Amino acid sequence: DIQMTQSPSSLSASVGDRVTITCRASQGISNSLAWYQQKPGKAPKLLLYAASRLQSGVPSRFTGSGSGADYTLTISSLQPEDFATYYCQHYYTPPRTFGQGTRLEIK
Amino acid sequence: QVQLQESGPGLVKPSETLSLTCTVSGDSINNYYWNWIRQPPGKGLEWIGNIFYSGTTDYNPSLKSRVTILVDTSKNEFSLTLRSVTAADTAVYYCATSRVGAPYFDCWGQGTPVTVSS
């Protein structure tokens, strides 16, 4: 199985900050990467797919980039509703696996 | 917009079988892959497996020996059966859609918590 490692595991930031979350796969995954946002007690929500494509309805302050085995999610200007846990997920080969999550907290 | 709703017992005894159903509304069950994903308390997400409307399945190898996913197109629902459960199977179980050629999860149910305990 391809292992996905996110960093940091947790992050404190303020409204208006720019933050970046990293996801590293145990091998190259050819941009076969999705990002999700999960708020407490809620189901995850798809933010981006194909590493950089924004899901319909997701604000443009969320951007994704990367290649090979290394990918990033950037939030350009944090809004109060962005404080949540973020997960990456590869879909290069079965089984699809998720990163362990990055918890984004208010400073 | 497709909508998903999980249902099933919230408590299962160790060594018994967990059975959940996901009811689909808002679109035909024929248009998607239908997935089950779980999240143990305070932990990350684990993909369990999926089924296409034709009945073709794909399972996570870590669970494959204990899992069966079935689809009932007449009822627009699909189901999860997990046998020989232990406390490690305690989790919130989600159903979710993915599309042909797009194996990420674009629509999720609200999730249903299942506790394995005697």
CB-closest option in B44, B102, B108 to A43: B108
The band of B53, judged by pLDDT with boundaries at 50, 70 and 90, is: confident
Q: Residues B91, B39: contact at Cβ < 8 Å?
A: yes
Do A46 and B111 make contact, defined as CB atoms within 8 angstroms?
A: no
Residue A20, pLDDT above cutoff 80 = yes
The confidence score (pLDDT) of residue B29 equals 77
Residue identified by tokens 């009945």 is: B55
The confidence score (pLDDT) of residue A64 equals 98
The confidence score (pLDDT) of residue A9 equals 98
3-state secondary structure of B37: strand
Do B110 and A43 make contact, defined as CB atoms within 8 angstroms?
A: yes
CB-closest option in B44, B46, B94 to A43: B94
The band of B100, judged by pLDDT with boundaries at 50, 70 and 90, is: confident
Interface size A-B, in CB pairs within 8 Å, comes to 48
Mean pLDDT of B12-40: 94
Sheet holding A70-75, edge to edge: A4-7, A19-25, A70-75, A62-67
First CA to last CA distance, chain A: 36
CA atoms within 13 A on the CB side of A98: 23
CB-closest option in A42, A87, A91 to B45: A87
Mean pLDDT of A52-75: 98
Q: Which of B105, B106, B108 to mutate to test the interface with A (most CBs of A within 10 A)?
A: B105
Q: Which of A2, A30, A96, A102 to mutate to test the interface with B (most CBs of B within 10 A)?
A: A96
CA B114/CA B118 separation, integer angstroms: 13
